[in-house]
Amino acid sequence: MIKKLDILIIRSYIGPFIVTFFVTLFVLVMQFFWLYMDELIGKGLGIWMIIQLLGYMSTTLVPMALPLGILLASIMTFGNMGENFELVAIKSAGISLLRFMRPLLIFIIFICGLAFLFNNNVIPVANLKALSLLHDLRSKPALNIRPGQFVNDIGNYSIRIGSKDRDGTAIHNVIIYDRTNGLGNTRVVIANSGEMIPSPDKQYLTFKLYDGWRYEEDNSAGTNIQTRMYFKQWNKIFDLSSFKLTRTSEDLFKENYQMMNVAQLKENIDSFKSYEKRVSKNINDFVGPYVTIYSPRPDKMELVGKIKKDTAAVKAYDSSFAQLVKDSLKPAVFTLTLNNVRSLAGMLSATAMDEGIQHENYLKFKIEWYRKYTLSFACLLLFLIGAPLGAIIRKGGIGMPLVIAVSFFVVYHITSITGEKLARSGTLPVWVGMWMATGMLLPIAFLLINQARNDSQIFTKEWYLRIWSRIRKMFPVNKT
């Protein structure tokens, strides 16, 4: 019977999980397109290009959609069972809530393992494909000739059309400024009507203009000569090769931390640690040639600290300088010393700046390394929150479960982002910032599990009404 019960709970969970996961993924993908819609519209993207971008971005959003889908499916599954009194029947048979959750817990742990493998092996490749394609699409120039507006994207031409018919081909009141000679708007074409005819390969655009005039000014001889020519039909061909999508080599993006797996991230983190160990030695190598009054081997002492503490040596050096150096040479010595100090300050400043950049990169790579694990563990965490929540609220469907699931996920997401920013700024250690959301919500998960085991009614209306009645009894109201 228990084995059949395990199969029952898994079957009851898989259906809502698949539905909620794909609905959540669809919402996140639509949010992405809404964010970049202005930059992609009007660039002549083909169906295949849109499908590629949609597929890559859907893959990169799986780590965010998976925890939310698990949370919502957990609340819905246990809420439906509570609403249909199935949980009551199971508990009356002597089966505890923890035993009832065990098959789903094993299933979610299996999902966490798959999520880690997905984050480690698939997400870096998907990020590489998606971000490189998005970069090329955003940088692709758009050709969108709208009535009443000048278009300056086609070479050294400015084109304006007064109106355009519904077929998108016939145009009226056309003005073309030709600045190909580099002398400004010395060539102008005006036509009453025309047609826009793209070539079959979309490489050229032909303007067939009717009933118009061509104006050209010639100031080469120092005289302002204007030539006007009438035409009945005039064809102008524009080269659209610059509007063709040019793919950037993906090798330029491979060094980004978002395109690496755990092993590659770890290798870069170790290289950053080795660099930080070399910084102190590099500083001693810079300072050594300029400060030589203490030891011929300055790389084995803290030069700056010793200069500040050993004041007797500084006074002795100052006395010997006054005695041994002639007065006529002192200005040159001071100038040379000042130049050396400036050179040393410049080298130290450049070293400090480079060390700061390397430290920022080190934090980014380490944050991404921890993200591989925190996103996978988030699936288990949100299940431990969603399952007891569903058993407590005892409501199925997508009403209250959806509101509660989104609320908890927003809390988790905001806390996670806050911890990541604190880690990136160096305010918190990286591991503390990346696990902060888990550390805050895990006690809440255990508290909810304990409340669900005790049949808590904290999410029922009657529980709040009883609390309100007790409060009113504590403060009786005299009607006299």
Burial 185-200, CB ≥16 within 10 A → b, else e: ebbbbebebbebebee
- Contact yes or no for 254/128 (Cβ under 8 A): yes
Mean pLDDT, residues 453-464: 63
pLDDT confidence bin for 380, thresholds 50/70/90: very high
Q: How far apart are CA 278 and CA 354, in angstroms?
A: 12
Residues 6+ apart with CB under 8 A from 364: 257, 424
Residues 6+ apart with CB under 8 A from 28: 61, 64, 65
For 289-321, what is each residue's pLDDT tens digit? Answer: 666 544 444 444 454 455 445 555 555 555 555
222 or 371, greater pLDDT? 371
pLDDT at res. 474: 74
Mean pLDDT, residues 421-446: 89
pLDDT confidence bin for 435, thresholds 50/70/90: very high
- Amino acid identity, position 328: S
Has residue 479 got a pLDDT over 60?
A: no
pLDDT at res. 226: 76
Token pair belonging to 113: 């393992």
**Of 375, 474, 463, 476, which is closest to residue 416 (Cα–Cα)?**
375
List beta partners, residue 188. 177, 215
What's the whole-number average pLDDT of the chain? 78
For 353-378, what is each residue's pLDDT tens digit? Answer: 877 788 888 888 899 999 999 989 99
Mean pLDDT, residues 107-112: 92
318 or 440, greater pLDDT? 440
Q: To the nearest whole percent, how much of the chain has pLDDT over 70?
A: 77
Token pair belonging to 470: 């007790």
Coarse DSSP helix, strand, coil percentages of the chain, rounded to the nearest 5 percent: 65, 15, 25
Confidence (pTM): 0.67
Mean pLDDT, residues 207-234: 81
Residue 211 zone, left/alpha/beta (φ > 0; ψ -120 to 50; rest): left
- Contact yes or no for 262/375 (Cβ under 8 A): no
pLDDT at res. 270: 85
Has residue 480 got a pLDDT over 60?
A: no
- Which of 64-73, 274-283, 406-415 is least confident? 274-283
Q: To the nearest whole percent, how much of the chain has pLDDT over 90?
A: 8
- Contact yes or no for 161/169 (Cβ under 8 A): no
Q: How far apart are CA 351 and CA 349, in angstroms?
A: 5
For 162-213, what is each residue's pLDDT tens digit? Answer: 888 877 788 888 888 888 777 777 788 888 888 888 777 767 778 888 888 8
- Contact yes or no for 115/63 (Cβ under 8 A): yes
Token pair belonging to 255: 């060094």
Token pair belonging to 403: 């509101």
Chain centre distance of CA 286? 39
pLDDT confidence bin for 112, thresholds 50/70/90: very high
Mean pLDDT, residues 18-46: 78
**Of 74, 76, 73, which is closest to residue 84 (Cα–Cα)?**
76
